[in-house]
Structure 1
């Protein structure tokens, strides 16, 4: 059974000259001498492609073997420079069969590779689209929270949308001292209401978000009938802007 194997290199079907020498039953260096002798004829249509293989010895060092990658024309032409012994004829037959088989198999493999590449591109495009859809939903939710559903409709190209600024519930409280005496009033939003405004589960998530941006000074201590913390109303528009712009660390909030 023949050991000749045709492979594809740089889009060209070729066979290793060492395998051809084995098939001919001669030493490889003898075949190389023939290749070098007739190199001009062999290269009439395409250049010879030589490589060097290094075989390491167990005791150290190694030997260098020069070999050639022969295309179909070169390998067939090389046979004509040998006498038509039975072994040479068998090698010719084996070469023809190997190249015929490679022409049938390798294009099919190439088509399968291209099909798999196309499937990968489609999968990557679908994953990108899914990520974009998720971001769109998050941004849309933020726009609705900050500016109302009408503004989202306008952004999405619906001119009939009615833009209504969502109401902001302002807390007005009387600041008292520890004795319960009124000191002043303040207007703002409590941590709880702001956390709900941004879809957070706990007020601490609001604190974590502000700390990630160095904005935790927005939260100010106050005393009502009981101690509390609040964010002055003048800071709320900036927080709305930061939230809509996806600023700060939000991983623990939305799982982004």
Structure 2
């Protein structure tokens, strides 16, 4: 396994790409309401990335081995869709939940982030799922510092999530990121403490737990991309891109409209995340 360690110059460029990705979500936020289609959200995002940010939407035509090229500029996963949902002309309705996943390429570097949105007035169960998933992501982020192992991150996310009565999707994980969309290491959202690779300063990767309200089993839809829960239970996901610093972590994918970190992120950790 070859994990690329980013230089100071790389990190500066990744900060920009990460902030831009988050700013796309800021721009989309007021548009996510009953009556809009995910296709319309995709066009808004595409035009903003290309014309305003002078950047490239990384998902568009992305084709890892065995996949057909992804046809849109963002991923929109609604209700029981877990990830990689393709924007379409179906209208979002009151009570839906939707994950919007944005990756931009700016000056050759990737910024990758996603947020959950509740369309209109969401039900109590949907709101709780989105909230717990957000906290689960931050439970993982809070573990990041030199000397920690990837298994420690996965264990923190898994135990918190399962203690809340939810399940973690295991087939998809976080990933290293930089000049490539997906690099080593794989960042599992479950695991055992003290296992897997040790974190060192300059590593950059995503933490992006997918949490199901029901069972963890998933299946792929006929489009070759969209992943759904097998039992059709709701699924939620949040994602940040994180740098391992000398003393802890820095979150690259924060912007003016980012939701604030949970209350348990405080003191030095909050400063590191700012």
Query: TM-score, normalised to structure 2's length?
Result: 0.21
Bigger Rg, which one: 1
Query: TM-score, normalised to structure 1's length?
Result: 0.22
Instruction: Give the structure with the larger helix fraction.
Output: 1
